[in-house]
Structure 1
Amino acid sequence: MNPVDDLAAVLDSTSALVAGVSRWDAPTPCPEWTVRELVNHLVLGHRLFTAVLRGEEGGSLDPRTFDALGDDPVAAYRDAVAGLLAAFRQPGVLEQVVEVPAGTVPGIAAVQLRIVEELVHGWDLARATGQEAKFDDAMVEREIAFSTAKLADLPPERSPFAPPVPVAEDAPPLDRLVALLGRSPR
């Protein structure tokens, strides 16, 4: 699959999770964030990447700095998703070099970073809300390979995730990905 198609599939699955939220103040596996703050972080990330891909200045990823959700968090998330996908579908965007929070990367790596971010935070959201995260295992395996290869390239001060935690080799792919990025799937 095209990585932008993978991103669209992940965003679609996470959109279903966002639409299923009944308690926005619930805690998440990200200890400092509620469900609302987690979804706000995703929206801010989508908007930042959208701006960067369009050659504009991005904003903060800290959900405590700015509330991008307003009165309708589900609509805000869907709007941010639509903008992000449109930005990644621009001609030549996967070949251009962009500056994102993880560093200077080609567009193809930027899309992979968004996929990984969405998978991990989709898992967080599913855990926090008692929903099931429905992501394609083959796609998650591709992101495990990407993350494994790229983690060593990130300076420790720029890594957005915690150190890996142990997980069984035969664990489901999503559990292995979140463990690789510092979450305990147990």
Structure 2
Amino acid sequence: MTGGIVRSVSPAQLTDPSPCAGWDVRGELNHLVGGMRVFAAELTGVPAGGDHHDDWLGDDHRAAFAIAYALDQAAWHQPNALDRTVQLSFGPMPAPAAALIHLTELLVHGADLAVVIGRPDLVDDDACDRLLTTMRGMDIEPFRRMGAFGPAQPTSVDTPPHRRLLAYLGRVGL
């Protein structure tokens, strides 16, 4: 899902504001690419080549995403990848829990980008709905206090699943 959305982002849209507070589209894409590179490094032991918040996009956001995605997929598909401990910014975490965080990053930021570029048709609403159900069953308040998510925003019954997910995580102005 997110790869198709990233391929649809035009260079002119990189400076558009993101629903993710404090970022424009380029900043959010950079976060995604950096995250994939860092997760791949954690799982493989091969240095990421930079820190999470470095400039990972260069001049071609699509190519940067494709390369990071390939590294990320290869890392997660290694034998015993889910038996490992992954070092995240807030401490070590079992790989299955880190995988859920990583999936959340990819789905949520992908949905953010789809909203910004006006391509909600590229969002996997079934996956967003399942993630929203999972997150509602968890205690995400510590993540809200850390600033990872904002306060939940109201939605109506006819709000599409990707927008309900974004609103639950504190995105405003949707």
Common fold: TM-score over 0.5: yes
| CA distance in 2: counterparts of 1:149 and 1:60, whole angstroms | 32
| CA distance in 2: counterparts of 1:155 and 1:136, whole angstroms | 24
| Residue pair 2:4, 2:122 contacting (<8 A) in 1 also | no
Equivalent residue number for residue 61 of structure 1: 52
| Residue pair 1:123, 1:133 contacting (<8 A) in 2 also | no
Equivalent residue number for residue 140 of structure 1: 128
* Correspondence for 1:27 among 17, 22, 25: 17
| CA distance in 1: counterparts of 2:6 and 2:110, whole angstroms | 9
Equivalent residue number for residue 8 of structure 1: none
Pair 1:38 & 2:28 matched: yes
| CA distance in 1: counterparts of 2:65 and 2:140, whole angstroms | 31
Equivalent residue number for residue 4 of structure 1: none
TM-superposed CA distance for 1:96, in Å, is 2.0
Which shows bigger deviation, 79-88 or 165-174? 165-174
| CA distance in 1: counterparts of 2:92 and 2:131, whole angstroms | 19
| Residue pair 2:36, 2:72 contacting (<8 A) in 1 also | yes
When residues 123 and 89 of structure 1 are mapped into structure 2, their CA distance, relative to the original with a 3 A threshold, is same
SS at match of 2:137: helix
SS at match of 2:172: coil
| CA distance in 2: counterparts of 1:131 and 1:155, whole angstroms | 28
The count of residues paired between Structure 1 and Structure 2 equals 171
Q: Once superposed, which parts of structure 1, at least 4 consecutive aligned residues long, lie more than 6 Å away? A: none
Pair 1:18 & 2:6 matched: yes
1:44 partner amino acid: G
SS at match of 2:82: coil
Gaps of 5+ in 1: 1-12
The structure carrying a bigger helix percent of its residues is: 2
TM-superposed CA distance for 1:127, in Å, is 2.1
| CA distance in 1: counterparts of 2:63 and 2:138, whole angstroms | 33
TM-superposed CA distance for 1:170, in Å, is 4.7
| Residue pair 1:102, 1:159 contacting (<8 A) in 2 also | no
| Residue pair 1:178, 1:185 contacting (<8 A) in 2 also | no
Gaps of 5+ in 2: none
| CA distance in 2: counterparts of 1:133 and 1:117, whole angstroms | 19
SS at match of 2:63: helix
Which aligned pairs between 1:30-179 and structure 2 lie closer than 5 A? 30-55=20-45, 60-62=51-53, 66-152=54-140, 154=142, 157-179=145-167
Equivalent residue number for residue 9 of structure 1: none
| CA distance in 2: counterparts of 1:55 and 1:150, whole angstroms | 30
Pair 1:182 & 2:170 matched: yes
| Residue pair 1:17, 1:133 contacting (<8 A) in 2 also | no
